[in-house]
């Protein structure tokens, strides 16, 4: 990936972690809800912090590190100075995120007329959150992939992608059951190169092909 890389995705998850309730009262109500549901807020916060710890230390400024180590970053309501520092980091991140999207979109607009029509449809009808059911790589430069799009923005049914004239292929070690997150497409001589950031864990799928067909395996829900 050139724009939507694994580090880019990891930092996006950190950005989601660094969102705090607007007021202390909101935080107290969240804690009370956990108690009412028989859920330990402290244990949930501890588990989530442990899951995110490596990326928090990797992407957050040193100012936040002591609160990561002692667990207070998400176990107590933030002090005003801490909250302002978190808000400022979030604003800076959001600006970088939007610039990333703008830069990719400008490049895409410049090359989209060079893409085969089905390849253009593939990326314009976003497959975000679709799940890979299966794939096969027959001979003669063909690759087929079946996706469950019930949780995606488009189709909401299973679809089959059939790439033809495949000249380049890079597959994650385990592709089945992975989720399609973000994609990039580029025009190349006699076709296109598709790059897809997959989860979980984050990995990259890359296909260079001459054309693609999209077959709906159920009733679409547009």
**What is the widest separation between alpha-carbon atoms in the chain?**
63
- pLDDT for residue 150: 93
Q: Each residue's pLDDT tens digit in the chain (222 positions)?
A: 999 999 999 999 999 999 999 999 999 999 999 999 999 999 999 999 999 999 999 999 999 999 999 999 999 999 999 999 999 999 999 999 999 999 999 999 999 999 999 999 999 999 999 999 999 987 789 999 999 999 998 999 999 999 999 999 999 888 999 999 999 999 999 899 999 999 988 999 999 999 999 999 977 665
Each residue of 15-39: b (16+ CB within 10 Å) or e?
A: bebbebeeeeeebeeeeeeeeeeee
Tokens of 91: 């604003």
Same structural domain, 124 and 47: no
Same structural domain, 139 and 206: yes
Between the CA of residue 138 and those of 135, 142, 144, 165, what are the distances in Å?
Answer: 10, 6, 8, 12
- pLDDT for residue 218: 78
Residues spanned by the domain of 38:
6-109
Same structural domain, 20 and 103: yes
- pLDDT for residue 174: 87
Q: Are 42 and 72 in contact (CB under 8 A)?
A: no
Q: Is 206 among the domain residues?
A: yes
Q: Is 92 among the domain residues?
A: yes
- pLDDT for residue 116: 94
Q: Is the bond leading into 200 cis (omega within 30 degrees of zero)?
A: yes
């Amino acid at each position: 990936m050139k724009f939507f890389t694994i580090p880019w995705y990891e930092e996006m998850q950190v950005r989601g972690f660094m969102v705090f309730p607007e007021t202390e009262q909101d935080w107290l109500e969240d804690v009370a809800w956990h108690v009412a549901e028989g859920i330990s807020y402290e244990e949930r916060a501890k588990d989530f912090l442990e899951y995110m710890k490596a990326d928090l230390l990797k992407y957050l400024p040193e100012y936040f590190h002591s609160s990561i180590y002692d667990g207070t970053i998400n176990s107590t309501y933030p002090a005003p100075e801490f909250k302002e520092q978190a808000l400022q980091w979030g604003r800076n991140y959001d600006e970088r995120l939007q610039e990333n999207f703008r830069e990719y979109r400008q490049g895409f607009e410049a090359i989209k007329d060079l893409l085969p029509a089905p390849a253009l449809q593939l990326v314009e009808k976003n497959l975000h959150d679709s799940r890979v059911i299966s794939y096969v790589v027959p001979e003669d430069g063909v690759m087929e992939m079946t996706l469950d799009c019930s949780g995606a923005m488009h189709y909401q049914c299973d679809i089959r992608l059939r790439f033809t004239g495949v000249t380049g292929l890079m597959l994650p070690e385990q592709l089945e059951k992975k989720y399609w997150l973000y994609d990039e497409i580029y025009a190349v001589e006699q076709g296109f190169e598709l790059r897809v950031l997959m989860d979980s864990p984050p990995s990259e799928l890359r296909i260079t092909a001459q054309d693609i067909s999209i077959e709906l395996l159920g009733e679409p829900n547009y």
